[in-house]
Amino acid sequence: MTGFRYLSFLTDYGLEDGFVAACHGVGARLAPHVAIIDVTHLVPAGDIRRGAAVLAQTVPYLPPAVHVAVVDPGVGTARRGVAVAAGDSVFVGPDNGLLSWAMAASGGATRAFSLTNRQLWLDRVTATFHGRDIFMPVAAHLAADTDLTAAGEEIDVGDLVTLPAPERVVRDGTAEGEVLTVDRFGNVQLTITASDAAAIGVTPGGAMLLRSGRHQLTLPYRDMFGAVAPGELVAYPDSAGLVSIAVNGGDAARRLGLPAGARVTITAAPQTIPQ
């Protein structure tokens, strides 16, 4: 598989420095025909799980591409870099689980290569900036005319590091899960899907009982968060097909004290109890 018109690029490099631009420059030099779509560069530093969630929810809407992702607290240690074919795309980054959810969302990894072919790296490789010196040049070569098999030694796709799939269990009329991620607006996205909710009798127009630790709360469940009055809490099936909780015009994560990873359960509630 060679030849891509697009690269996508996700990191925790931030936007204050020239780190992202240096990588863009490397890509432009090696694959001038390619357009780069920045997914985000504001993943909290080293937060692999958050990077994985954002990448997995975005990739289905991107064109076929070489997806480069670098959230890499182990840069310079023994963790390997990989290039992996999945679906109609190629994923390039550290083998630390960051890519795993997005590859699953793309149909699963079919072939994987450890980045051992230094011919595809920059001539001078620093120990702390593999995004610029290894991942981006490898990706740009793959987007140009280099075959994936030239990236390095082939490895078993079963040996790739994967993050545990977001947990969710549905039984006895209860859906258990956790907070997958919190977005900029403070909307709280659960690992529980809208289909899970339907399976336990929670459907738009109804209500749910949300429990987390010793706290519990009844929430209206609506098609969209605009369906409740400003300042009110609401649960809804979100744009990724997951149950999310919002405050219309406010910050639900702060209101509820629910960070990423917090355990929650939901059950159907007979009706909405006014907050």
CB of 110 to its own copies, least distance (A): 22
Interface characters, 3-42, with its own copies (x: CB under 8 A): --xx-x-x--xxxxxxxxxxxxxx-xx--x--x-xxxxxx
Binding to its own copies by residue 57, rule CB under 8 A? yes
Question: Under a CB-based contact definition with an 8 Å cutoff, are residues 34 and 143 in contact?
Answer: yes
CB of 236 to its own copies, least distance (A): 7
Neighbouring CB atoms inside 10 A of 36's CB total 22
CB of 153 to its own copies, least distance (A): 22
Distance of CA 158 to the CA centre of its chain: 20
Question: Under a CB-based contact definition with an 8 Å cutoff, are residues 232 and 165 in contact?
Answer: no
Q: Residue 1 corresponds to which amino acid?
A: M
Binding to its own copies by residue 213, rule CB under 8 A? no
Residue from 108, 226, 231, 259 that binds its own copies (CB under 8 A)?
226
Binding to its own copies by residue 177, rule CB under 8 A? no
Gap between the Cα atoms of 144 and 23, Å rounded: 16
Binding to its own copies by residue 61, rule CB under 8 A? yes
**Residue 94 dihedral angles phi and psi, to the nearest 5°:** -70, 150
Q: Which stretch binds its own copies (CB under 8 A): 113-121, 177-185, 195-203, 258-266?
A: 177-185
Element (H, E) at 170: strand 168-171
Residues 6+ apart with CB under 8 A from 10: 38, 39, 40, 41, 43, 51, 54, 55, 58, 67, 68, 69, 70, 71
Residues 87-146 interacting with its own copies (rule: CB under 8 A): 126-129, 132-133
Gap between the Cα atoms of 128 and 100, Å rounded: 23
Binding to its own copies by residue 180, rule CB under 8 A? no
Residue from 139, 188, 225, 233 that binds its own copies (CB under 8 A)?
225
CB of 25 to its own copies, least distance (A): 4
- The binding site for its own copies (CB under 8 A) comprises 5-6, 8, 10, 13-26, 28-29, 32, 35, 37-43, 45-46, 54-55, 57-58, 61-63, 73-77, 126-129, 132-133, 183-185, 223-227, 236-239, 241, 248-249
